[in-house]
Structure 1
Amino acid sequence: MTDVQQPLPHAVADLQQEQQLKSKRKKALSIVAMLVLTALIIFAIWRVFFNSSVTTDNAYVGAETASVTSMVSGQVAEVLVSDTQTVKKGEVLLRIDARDTEIAVNQAQAELMKAKRQYKQTSANSGALNSQVGVSDDTIHSAEAQVAQAKAALDKAQDELARREKLTASGAISREELSTAQSVLNNAKAGYDLAQAGLAQARSSQKAAQSTLAANDALIQGSNENSTPDVQIAQAKLKQALLDLERTEIKAPFDGVISRRSIQVGQRVAPGNVLMMVVPVSQLYVDANFKESQLKQVRPGQKVTLISDLYGDDVEYTGTVVGFSGGTGSAFALIPAQNATGNWIKVVQRLPVRIQLDPKQLAEHPLRVGLSMEATVDLSKK
């Protein structure tokens, strides 16, 4: 018989140890696989049932800033504010030399007084012209009486001449008397013509007075001292001059902080020049640029939680979605993307979403335009 070789004790121990290691590895891999599978299941459940928000850190503080401009031209006499200074609505920011506008106001006031006096003079002229028309009536009556008197004298002279002509034929009167009667008739005719000319002149004078009265009445008809066109034009000029005088003091349009002041005392400004900006720090908003794939369930009115990089997680703001921009950032870029090319690569676009902040929170923790924010929209409310 041949002897059977028995395995060495240390070889058996190594084999057992290797089997134990394989068993442990298999168990560990099983545990890892179970954990990964559990995580996937949990993520799927969260995505389907509990994913009620979308978040972006591509969000920045904005505001409807006001560019302070001058409405009148002139030299800056005084600047009362500086950059970073807080101002209230109606507070004077700067003053422009008002001497030129004060002169314009005085001139406009004088023109208004002159226009009112001209109206009064025109009204008085109407009264005088009315009296003149009345006097012309008396003149016409007098001229008519003179014409009648001259006509009577003419008729008498004609009768006397006719009677003497009959008597001359019989030799009852001399030719000298006939000649005298003829002269009287000629004088009567001249007197009659003169009386008629006087009557015509009186009537012409009356028509001229009536025309002047009508023209004068047309200037003031249907108006009074304050509604006549000349007075209204003068009043408008005075209002414009007073408005220009008021505009020499440039005031803050609302509460805010002064930024980008570019004006100094002594500079000459013209209408439309931007002198400084006022930022309404109590009326700030946030423009959050969400990916287009995140906006499916975002609606105006939904609540938003925001965290500023300025204060960190210690301060949390609450806001409200108020609307969406009319286009993506790339659509409104100075040089829009040209996607109609052969080397096109799809890039996920972002759409700005306007979020209104709570004024009370802004008062407690002020922000500034351009600061970064992280915005999370609550989708649980549709």
Structure 2
Amino acid sequence: MRYLIGGIAVLIGMSGCGDTDKTKEAKAGRDTVQVAPTKNEIVGVGRIEPEDGVIELTAGATGRILEILVKDNQTVEKGMPLLRIDIALENAQVQQAQSKLSTQQAAVSVNQSTLEGLRVNLENARETYQRNLDLYKGNAQTKQVLDDSKASVDKLTKDVETAEASIRQSQSRMGELQADLRYYRTVVNNKRVEALMAGKILKMTVKTGDYINNDTKIAEFAPSGGLYAKTEVDELYAERVNVGQKAYIVSQTTGDTLATGMVSFAADYLKQKSLFKDQATEQEDRRVREVFIRLDTGKMPLIGSRVDCVILLK
């Protein structure tokens, strides 16, 4: 009888140990991972995101929004305009610079024509002076006529030099005006708010009439490319995860399989939990391994979905 009672006590003790192990496993954290009874899979809570995450687009320009050119959920290509903003002042500056440049170009053209005329007159004056000099040497021309022709050459020479200097100055001024025009055109171009890469506009965060500056956040944006389920595996099981392991993504709401995929990244270090760290009872010293699961092509879960990531160990 004593042996029977002792055997029953041992069985009860073994059962108690088993319950303790399960309790410890449960305390590992349902919000991070759990190991299935078969030990063939690890389940982690994850979130669906683009590879580089959801990006907040900033305006990169200053002005009042006249029109929003895209809608929520719209796919855009690189360089596609997103907003039209008020650039009336900048356009006026461009037009003014163009007008000044045109006026200066006309002045340069007039000065060049004047210079060409002076050069022709100077050449004729030099020929006249040479002819008068030859006649004077032969006593066929008076000294006064020779001096007058020499004075004409000297005057026209100075006129040509003055005209050449004026053209150089005008051309320099024209260069300044061209630089001004390029600057104002650059300002106008910088007023263009456009997509810097291909992707999808998830949500516009501004509206028509808003005044924006360079740092104003205008939209939440998902770059084009595959989607990932980003999860964190508790340190108790982190060593069991490897790149290349298959996985499937399960809805936390319905329990349906939303997608399949493969582990494409597993961090080489442990860090503090960051995903869904919203429970006051969570231990601060818990460590997790960051894991990315690249989803197979096909129907994709919604970006931002909170899902269960089931990683197959075999």
* Category of TM-score, reference length = shorter chain: 0.5 to 0.7
Task: Note the alpha carbon deviations across 1:207-241, whole angstroms, 9 max, x for none.
Answer: 435535655786899xxxxxx84685366346436
Partner of 1:201: 151
1:305 deviation in Å?
0.8
Alignment of 1:170-319 (within 5 A): 192=143, 198=148, 201-205=151-155, 207-209=157-159, 211-212=161-162, 215=165, 229=175, 233=179, 236-237=182-183, 239-240=185-186, 243=189, 247=192, 254-259=198-203, 261=205, 263-279=206-222, 283-291=226-234, 294=237, 300=243, 302-310=244-252, 312-319=254-261
Higher strand share: 2
| Distance (Å, rounded) in 2 between the aligned partners of 1:195 and 1:58 | 108
| Distance (Å, rounded) in 2 between the aligned partners of 1:216 and 1:320 | 74
Give the match's secondary structure for 1:127: helix
Task: Extract unaligned runs of 5+ from structure 2.
Answer: 19-37, 275-283
Higher helix share: 1
- Percent sequence identity over matched residues? 15
| Distance (Å, rounded) in 2 between the aligned partners of 1:123 and 1:324 | 73
Partner of 2:88: 99
Residue 371, structure 1, aligned to residue 306, structure 2:
yes
Residue 68, structure 1, aligned to residue 51, structure 2:
no
| Distance (Å, rounded) in 1 between the aligned partners of 2:47 and 2:95 | 52
Which amino acid letter does the alignment assign opposite residue 314 of structure 1? D
Change (3 A) 1:146 1:357: farther
Give the match's secondary structure for 1:356: strand
Task: Note the alpha carbon deviations across 1:7-48, whole angstroms, 9 max, x for none.
Answer: xxxxxxxxxxx59x949x68x96xx99xx9xxxxxxxxxxxx
Partner of 2:281: none
Which amino acid letter does the alignment assign opposite residue 258 of structure 1? L
Task: Extract unaligned runs of 5+ from structure 1.
Answer: 1-17, 37-50, 155-190, 222-227, 333-345
Partner of 2:44: 57
Counterpart contact for 1:95–1:250, Cα < 8 Å = no
1:57 deviation in Å?
1.1
Task: Note the alpha carbon deviations across 1:38-87, whole angstroms, 9 max, x for none.
Answer: xxxxxxxxxxxxx99763514333333333333433223345777xx322
Counterpart contact for 2:94–2:181, Cα < 8 Å = no
Q: Decide which structure has the larger Cα Rg and report it.
A: 1
Partner of 1:40: none
Counterpart contact for 1:65–1:278, Cα < 8 Å = yes
Partner of 2:299: 361
Partner of 1:47: none
RMSD after superposition: 4.9
Change (3 A) 1:114 1:264: same
1:348 deviation in Å?
5.9
Aligned residues: 276
Partner of 2:25: none
1:273 deviation in Å?
1.5
